[in-house]
Amino acid sequence: MSEAYLEELAELIREHKIYPDESRARGEQGEVTIEIVLGPDGSLIERFVARSSGFDALDAASLAAVAAAEPFPPLPKEVAQETVTYSVPLNYFLN
């Protein structure tokens, strides 16, 4: 898989990440790792929390960011698989 394609996916998702107000107010911080499964045309087949932040609101915000980032670009032509699974870490830290 092309590194450029993977970085493009991660950037698309990060652009749609929203830090929930209630999490900020409670001081919740952490990293969520989301796994996404994409079809050859870039369609989202599945998304799930692979590693939780320990906070439901942050985990839910990460899944929402993936949904908001659709549609994803088609897989690169050099990828012969019918689907590809990719892990995306999303960080939520207060300054």
Whether pTM exceeds 0.85: yes
- How do residues 3-33 score in pLDDT, each as one tens digit? 889 899 999 999 999 999 999 999 999 999 9
- How do residues 60-95 score in pLDDT, each as one tens digit? 999 999 999 999 999 988 876 788 899 999 999 998
Note the pLDDT of residue 1. Answer: 61
The CA–CA distances, whole Å, from 33 to 41, 78, 79, 89 equal 23, 26, 23, 4
Note the pLDDT of residue 80. Answer: 65
